[in-house]
């Protein structure tokens, strides 16, 4: 229901704030994820039916929330009039003059949503979007026979209660989306400029900061960089082995293979030296010998998604090896998927 309300309010805002409601015919481009295309059409048709005084011509594009900012910045003139985006993109979108300030029904919108939701859709106290969810956070599940509500109030008391009962607490600490919560929840902030200079925050940047900043200069299409040490990709890196297959169509069709760069000392300019030629060859995922993995994408979210996909692939191939090895596809079939990858 909130999603429906969000879209209808967004359409109203665009029509009124842009002066489009006075026009006889209004053309609006709407972006949404693939799974939301049918819903978008239904909502737009319902909106048009409620406003018969104006003729609306809707066009739809398949652009999900995670890619909204990157697609907008690629060509603002061709971008959608209505789209959703995650709150970590709002500053860049505001700086690009991509968003209307919400003025119509402002107070009603603020009153209908939580403070956190309103803040997430605001910059400098100015509301630039309609909240779609009350919270995009994570959930803690606990057994009240072991952990009281009071114990669950902090991670320290949660761990203490679990230890006392001989129980365990499980969390995926290799996932950056989860791990960031520990830093942010403890007040850790860090802001760097485009040259890697710290301009705000109370935390020190990683020793691999030079690697991150230099990676952005390797290719023009790199807009996000992820460096991490997930277990299966790191295992291949420690063995100095490429992640390669002739049996996994999804791997060949999307990535070809993950090459392993020669070892370079961490924290120095040598760590990236062996990876540069691989990245220049349009590879987005590079194993860093005896270290970890470096992944690039159009956005940080894109790079993170590729990292998670790569780790899943590496795990599958590792487990396949334990079962006696993969059963390869024919040369013709392999070539089909490798050629498919070249077109992406």
* Span 131-175, pLDDT tens digits: 887 555 667 889 999 999 999 988 899 999 999 999 998 887 666
pLDDT band at 17 (very low <50, low <70, confident <90, very high): very low
Token pair of 174 as six digits: 């290799």
Q: Could you give the C-alpha distances from 161 to 143, 166, 170, 179, in angstroms and in order?
A: 11, 9, 14, 21
* Span 236-285, pLDDT tens digits: 999 999 999 999 998 998 899 999 999 999 999 899 999 999 999 999 99
Say which residues have a Cβ less than 8 Å from residue 59's Cβ, sequence separation at least 6: 27, 28, 29, 30
The whole-angstrom separation of Cα 140 and Cα 229 is 25
- Region 206-342: CATH code: 3.40.225.10
Identify any residues that bridge with 285 across adjacent strands, giving them in sequence order: 295
Nearest-5° angle of CA 208, CA 225, CA 249?
125
Residue 184's SS3 state is: helix
* Span 73-117, pLDDT tens digits: 888 989 999 999 888 788 889 988 999 999 989 999 999 988 888
Q: pTM higher than 0.75, yes or no?
A: no
Which class is domain 2-127? alpha beta
List the chain domain ranges. 2-127, 138-170, 173-202, 206-342
The whole-angstrom separation of Cα 244 and Cα 338 is 12
């Amino acid at each position: 229901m909130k999603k429906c309300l969000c879209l209808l309010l967004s359409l109203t805002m665009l029509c009124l704030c842009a002066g489009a409601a006075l026009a006889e015919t209004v053309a609006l481009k709407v972006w949404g994820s693939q799974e939301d295309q049918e819903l978008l059409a239904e909502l737009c048709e319902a909106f048009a039916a409620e406003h018969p005084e104006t003729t609306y011509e809707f066009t739809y594009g398949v652009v999900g929330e995670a890619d909204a900012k990157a697609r907008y910045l690629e060509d603002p003139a061709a971008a959608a009039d209505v789209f959703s985006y995650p709150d970590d993109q709002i500053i860049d979108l505001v700086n690009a003059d991509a968003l209307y300030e919400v003025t119509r029904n402002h107070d009603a919108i603020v009153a209908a949503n939580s403070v956190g939701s309103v803040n997430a859709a605001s910059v400098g106290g100015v509301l630039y979007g309609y909240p779609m969810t009350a919270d995009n956070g994570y959930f803690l599940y606990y057994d009240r026979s072991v952990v009281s509500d009071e114990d669950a109030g902090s991670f320290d008391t949660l761990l203490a209660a679990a230890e006392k009962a001989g129980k365990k607490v499980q969390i995926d600490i290799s996932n950056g989306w989860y791990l960031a919560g520990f830093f942010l929840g403890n007040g850790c902030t860090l802001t760097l400029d485009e040259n890697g200079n710290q301009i705000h925050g109370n935390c020190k940047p990683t020793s691999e900061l030079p690697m991150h900043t230099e990676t952005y200069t390797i290719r023009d299409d790199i807009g996000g960089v992820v460096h991490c040490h997930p277990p299966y990709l790191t295992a291949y890196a420690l063995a100095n082995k490429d992640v390669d297959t002739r049996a996994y169509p999804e791997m060949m069709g999307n990535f070809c293979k993950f090459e392993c760069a020669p070892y370079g000392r961490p924290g120095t300019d040598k760590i990236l030296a062996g990876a540069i030629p691989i990245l220049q060859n349009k590879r987005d995922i590079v194993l860093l010998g005896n270290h970890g993995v470096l992944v690039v994408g159009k956005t940080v979210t894109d790079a993170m998604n590729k990292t998670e996909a790569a780790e899943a692939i590496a795990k599958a191939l590792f487990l396949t090896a334990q079962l006696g090895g993969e059963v390869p596809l024919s040369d013709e079939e392999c070539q089909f998927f490798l050629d498919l990858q070249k077109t992406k």
